[in-house]
Amino acid sequence: MTGHAPLPPSVHELIIGKKTNIAAPGQPIRLAQQEPLIWELESAVKGESTGTGEATNGGPKVPLSMSALALWERITKTVNEQWPGRNQRALQRLSVGQKIHAWAQGDPDYVEEVCAVWCGQIKGLRYRVHALDAACPECGVDTVYEVDEGDPDGRVYKPALVWTVERAFCRACLASWVGFDEMKELAGVINRHV
Ligand SMILES: [Zn+2]
């Protein structure tokens, strides 16, 4: 194998992080390095395991993304089964990103195809909105409603507190908890209240 070929774009975005232009329109290009998507997924998964570990009884009332967890497990399983070092015990402690890097060096076209799908799935998780089964700690509201468009007297009820992998927020008072640390704090507060 020869040196280090440049990584294909989706592999790069998944394990190194994409460079994006953050300059205002018309200004010279300023590139910023984004966090690798695999880290973003990993923190979404770790967020939930930390939270559920703290919940003793009454079940988890914390940001919990089964879809993030399922995707994380699917990715790590596929990588562990297919990367070139899979049969070498001493290499199994490498991070999933390092394994994907080694795998992409050997089979760039196939790995690029697989990583493109994973990148799309991780980005898709960012915008999925999940309900939280608890009252908002800021305003105490647990349900909001919208007027049913088909029936002016009808109401559509929705949980007030919802979250995405990036933030949690309350539809009633618009309080928000942005990022992993704040969401973890919210999870703790909710657990104390129920
Ligand atoms: Zn609220």
CA of 136 to the centre of ligand 1 (A): 5
Q: For the chain, report the end-to-end CA distance as a whole number of angstroms.
A: 58
Going from the Cα of 163 to the center of ligand 1, the distance in angstroms, rounded, reads: 13
Residues 56-105 have pLDDT tens digits of 333 333 344 567 888 899 999 999 999 999 999 999 999 999 999 999 99
Rounded (5°) CA angle 144-147-152: 150
What pLDDT score was predicted for residue 4? Answer: 65
Residues across the chain = 194
CA 87 to ligand 1 center in whole angstroms: 52
Cα 108 to ligand 1 centroid, rounded to whole Å:
48
**Burial tier of 34 (Cβ tally within 10 Å: 0-12, 13-18, 19+):** middle
Confidence of residue 117 (pLDDT cuts 50, 70, 90): very high
The candidate with the shortest Cα–Cα distance to 115, out of 35, 42, 20, 16, is 16
Please indicate whether residue 5 or residue 133 has the higher confidence score (pLDDT): 133
Compute, in angstroms, the gap from residue 187 CA to the centroid of ligand 1. Answer: 14
